[in-house]
Amino acid sequence: MQQFEGTILAGDSFAPVCGRVVVDDGQITAVEETATDSTDIVLPAFVNAHTHIGDSVAKEAGVGLSLDEAVAPPDSEKHRRLAAASRDELIAAMRRTLRFMADTGTAAHLDFRESGEAGTEALRTAASETATDAVIFGSGPASVLELADGYGASGANDDEFTDERAAAREANKPFAIHAGEPDATDIHPALDYEPELLVHMVHAEAEHLKRVADQAIPIAVCPRANAVLGVGRPPIPELLDHTTVALGTDNVMLNPPSMFREMAFTAKTYDVTDREVLRMATQAGAEIADLNCGVIEPGRRAALLVLDGDSDNLSGTVNPISAVVRRATGLDIKQVVV
């Protein structure tokens, strides 16, 4: 049995509780309110709701390029770099990214994996030796669903995905698709697939949001990547009014997969509460992927992040939620429990 003491950001509301989290055999068994001298801050480990870690072999390759030039299939800089990398190079680069994610508090990530069955298998191999769980949305032929956890479509304007959507439904696996990143023209066609997850929705308008709400489709947003590529800003407050919204870091070639950076950017540039940003970085992604983490309460998997509340950066903090969202970095981490 393990115990983690300090200020616990507990339950669905992340209410600060002075006390301890009791863990037995990888599961939270109790959250106890009690006096403690610990200045630690204990929060759920992060769930990164959208990544492309295959392009870990192409870091900074997208600098100065447009969206199409940087990442659009099949001839972008990203896809050329992926094609040129050997399997061993690809796995080694992904494994390094996964270690970085684990070290900075990410318990799981939802990855759109390029290169069909070979790409899915390569990520499975890379993830097998790291602590961060990979929820893989495969690409290419529908047969990738035999290996992947779901299907990840590039976008409704890129190709036709009717067969893949049907295969995902038949396999009882989620179908996810990029939508509304360069413009709004692919949003209605994406919604026609009735996906289990939409990614980006930068250019979502009222008519799209009504359909999102009616169909109860969650959305993963990636504000930093959208800013780097100059495609616009996802309307996060409006999205939150209509559905579950989770944070993702998108392409490793554009940004490090740091949920601390993603939270701080979102909190400081959008009219949303710090509590909502923390939920987007933890609970929302876990719900989308049907993972039993993202919340500190009995019965949940003990995926926890322990921060040093007396670090040079966090000492003197008044509001622990704001401190976590706006100020904390990987240097403040005392322990990651995943």
What is the CATH number for 26?
Answer: 2.30.40.10
Pure H helices in the chain? 67-71, 77-84, 87-103, 116-127, 162-170, 187-192, 206-215, 223-229, 236-240, 259-269, 274-281, 283-288, 320-322
Is residue 303 located within the same domain as residue 201?
A: no
Is residue 281 located within the same domain as residue 299?
A: no
The residue with greater pLDDT, 196 or 72, is: 196
Is residue 329 located within the same domain as residue 226?
A: no
Amino acid occupying residue 332: D
Is residue 310 located within the same domain as residue 220?
A: no
Rounded CA separation 9/17 (Å): 6
Q: What pTM, to 2 d.p., does this model score?
A: 0.96
- As given in the structure block, the two tokens for residue 272 are 């949303």
Q: Can you tell me the mean pLDDT for 133-146?
A: 98
Is residue 32 located within the same domain as residue 132?
A: no
Predicted pLDDT of residue 65: 85
Is residue 201 located within the same domain as residue 145?
A: yes
Is residue 61 located within the same domain as residue 91?
A: yes
Is residue 278 located within the same domain as residue 138?
A: yes
Is residue 157 located within the same domain as residue 302?
A: no
Is residue 38 located within the same domain as residue 144?
A: no
Domain that holds residue 146: 46-288
- Structure confidence by residue, pLDDT tens digits, 160-184: 999 999 999 999 999 999 999 999 9
Is residue 227 located within the same domain as residue 259?
A: yes
CATH number of the domain within which 197 lies? 3.20.20.140
Residue 64 has pLDDT above 90, yes or no: no
Residue 63 has pLDDT above 90, yes or no: no
Domain count, the chain: 2
Query: Which is nearest to 256 in space by CA: 234, 220, 225?
Result: 225
Going by pLDDT thresholds of 50, 70 and 90, the confidence category of residue 62 is: confident
Q: How far apart are the first and last CA of the chain?
A: 15
Say if strands 304-307 and 41-44 run parallel, antiparallel, or are unpaired.
Answer: antiparallel
Is residue 165 located within the same domain as residue 201?
A: yes
Residue 194 has pLDDT above 90, yes or no: yes
Q: Can you tell me the mean pLDDT for 144-169?
A: 98
Going by pLDDT thresholds of 50, 70 and 90, the confidence category of residue 61 is: confident
Predicted pLDDT of residue 24: 97
- Structure confidence by residue, pLDDT tens digits, 67-102: 888 898 888 888 898 888 899 999 999 999 999 999
